[in-house]
Amino acid sequence: MKYKSFGATGKQVSVIGQGTWYIDRGNRASAVAAVRNGLDLGMTHIDTAEMYDDAELVVAEATAGRRDEVFLVSKVLPSNASRKGTVQACERSLKRLKTDRLDCYLLHWRGSYPLEDTVAAFEQLVSDGKIRSWGVSNFDAGDLAEILDVAGEGRIACNQVLYHLNERAIEHSVIPWCEAHGVAVVAYSPFGHDDFPHAQSAGGKALQEIAMRHGATPRQVALAFLTRWPSVFAIPKASSSDHAADNAGAGSLTLTESDIAAIDKTFPLGREPRSLPML
């Protein structure tokens, strides 16, 4: 597993982590085993959120006795992101996760509360030792510039955004902005939302050809392509130990320039949309 610096935190974090959206919907024992196997394979970056129903409880069970191995991230809903509400939401997440601190705490998307209030709450939580760093999710370049004006350089740890082969919008402005300001980019839903290229499609065949040259799988190739940027991490979800192992295999895969060119041609960037795509 490759590790690289997580934005301004300087913390070395696994390039491939573990997402947990919907992880509580299936077999609980299988989900817990998947997360634990992911940890065994070096995917120590675990992402969850208060919005994800019982996912925080699954993470708590999976990380029991292993908290110090984990770079643990959760998120506050915009509807809770007032100065007081952010602190209370964090405390609820800490209780559900059965831990005394988060490594990073994110604003899930921009809402109606002033960014000044949310940032003040984040900084209070840092001072109180309840979080080690903070960031945002689903912020476009304009939003990022606004929160930078509030917080100053070196305070925004990451921006978690939708990024997969068929949705590369963040490559236009978001990734360049983040790399210019030392902000990590975390790709959520890196296989798309139930629309990963099937084996008989042009995209599926292209990925398979590259995978065969590397002794890898198409999904590992996709993850390696997304994380080719110095700033980008990915958090695929796995609901089984085998799926977790497949995801982890991407952490040691390096694509060639010709591989990247082939993927770029097959899954073209397209024009920059007016608004940032999100799920």
Residues in the chain: 279
Put residue 278 in one of left, alpha, beta given phi > 0 → left and psi -120 to 50 → alpha. Answer: beta
* CA distance linking residue 136 with residue 140, whole number of Å: 10
Please tell me whether 108 is known to bind a ligand.
Answer: yes
Is residue 52 part of the annotated active site? The answer reads yes
Q: Contact 15/2 with Cβ under 8 angstroms? A: yes
Q: Which of 22, 52, 113, 163 is catalytic?
A: 52
Catalytic positions = 52
* Residues flagged as binding site for substrate: 108
* Residues flagged as binding site: 108
